Amino acid sequence: MKLYFIILLFLPTLLFSQPWPAYRDTVQKVQLTFNELMSTDRLFDKENYVVYSEIGDTLYIFGIGMPEGVDTTGGVDYVILVTKPFEYNLYYTVKVSWVKDRAGNLIAENNFAFTILPMIDPDRIPPNVYITPEDFTVGQLQIDTVWASGQQDQNHTPNKAIDGFAFSTPGSDYDFNTWTSCCINDPGGQWFIAGFDDERFIHSLSVSTTYFNSGRSYKLRIEISEDSQNWEAIRTVDTIPNEEWLTVIIGRTGKYTKIVFVENSQSDWAGLWEIYLIGN
């Protein structure tokens, strides 16, 4: 997985694959820096970038460009996104897909190319102040331990949800690569916990639930804890039928992430194909 950095800055003239937008007073420039040189093939196609907030709103992108005079012949390691302004005190995510590094390797959607933008407070961060990229470098985190409310049998243990075999992974098998447990409506319900040895910043959770491909949806409550005893509820979300992955912005520091199964649209079972935690 490639890592990306985000820096907020205000630049002069940019070169675009399309005309400069006419909304000069309502635009924001964001520098997205890659960790290696990238091919310019489709790199400036705005359709390959999505910016969305922690509440799910998509931010309009006017165009992708470079500062005037930059030589792009041998590839570039950053691009400038011109977008609608952020709302204050919200986390934003940039998703990049279908661009290539200089060697021609494709960054497809399943590379989980996520990076976080900081919360912006206009009283604390005035214009033209650089935000250091090291603070906002994120990638897939290694999960050190998992446990759950129960399990169907020895073929559906909690470890199956972090074994690297998602529904779409070649060779995956429901009978050997999913965690399942019953019953959601029992006292105490059904839940799944992923933990780290040390406290980490958790940017987002990507979760794939069982039977999504059969039209099933779940209502999930996501919680964070520092000690696995006291939990902070982050948000309650609904998975989307026939969509393999749901990504939930967390934006918190903690050691443990808990997925509580609140409802199942088809039965009383809880089930996960795979989860990923993104952060630093």
Most confident of 10-14, 147-151, 248-252: 147-151
Regarding whether 186 and 251 lie in a shared domain, the answer is: yes
Judged against a pLDDT cut of 90, whether residue 1 lies above it is answered with: no
Contact 179, 156 (CB under 8 A): yes
Domain termination residue (choose one: 106, 137, 168):
137
- Give the CATH number for residue 21: 2.60.40.1220
Prediction pTM value: 0.60
Instruction: Domain of residue 111: give its range.
Output: 4-137
H-assigned helices in 65-141: none
- Count of beta carbons in the 10 Å neighbourhood of residue 104: 8
Return the pLDDT at 238. Answer: 94
Number of domains in the chain: 2
Tokens, residue 274: 């795979």
* Interval 130-138 mean pLDDT: 44
